[in-house]
Amino acid sequence: MSETFHPIVAESDFPEEGKIAARLEGWSVLVVKTDDGFRAVNDRCTHQAALLSPGRVRRGAIMCPLHGARFEAATGRCIGGAYADLRVFPLRIENGMIEVAVPDTAPGPDERPVGV
C-alpha cells in the first residue's frame, strides 16, 4: 500500500495544548506532542469509534473522552483497556513543517470515526 506525506502545521505553530487534528485524504489524523517528540495516529478510538482528539494527552498516552481507554502515542498500543491498537501514521519534520503520511486509499468503515 502506498502512502503520501501531507503538511499539517509548522513545528513553531504547534498548539500549546499538545495536539492537533486534521483530515488528510479522508483520514482523521491526530498529531500529539509527547516528551519523545511528535506522533501521529488515526483519530478514532478502537472501542466505539469516537474521535480521540477531544480527549487528553498525558505522559505519552492519548485518552479517549468517551470511556477513558488509553493508547500509547508512540506505538498506538492500548494500555488502558482491552481494545485493539490504534493505527500509527509515519511522521516527519521537513524544513520546520510537520508532515504525516496516510495511505493513498480512503479509510474503510472500520477506520473512520463515527459521524465523520
Q: What is this structure's pTM?
A: 0.95
Answer for the pair 74, 60: CB distance below 8 angstroms, yes or no. yes
- Domain contains 116: no
Asked whether residue 113 is assigned to any structural domain, the reply reads no
Answer whether residue 47 is part of any domain: yes
Instruction: Compute the Cα dihedral for 73, 78, 83, 88 and give only its sign.
Output: positive
DSSP string, the chain: --EEEEEEEEGGG--TTSEEEEEETTEEEEEEEETTEEEEEESS-TTT---STTS-EETTEEE-TTT--EEETTT--EEESS-PPPPEE-EEEETTEEEEEEESSPP-GGGSPTT-
Residue 19 CB: number of other CB atoms within 10 A? 20
Query: Tens place of pLDDT for every residue, the chain, 116 residues?
Result: 699 999 999 999 999 999 999 999 999 999 999 999 999 999 999 999 999 999 999 999 999 999 889 999 999 999 977 899 999 999 999 999 999 999 999 999 999 998 77
pLDDT at residue 6, rounded to an integer: 97
CATH code, 90 = 2.102.10.10
C-alpha to C-alpha distance for 106 and 22, rounded to whole angstroms: 15
Residue-range definition of the domain harbouring residue 94:
3-104
Decide if 110 is inside a domain: no
The answer as to whether 52 is a domain residue is yes
Count of the separate structural domains present in the chain: 1
Q: What pLDDT does residue 1 have?
A: 66
Tell me whether residue 114 is in a domain. no
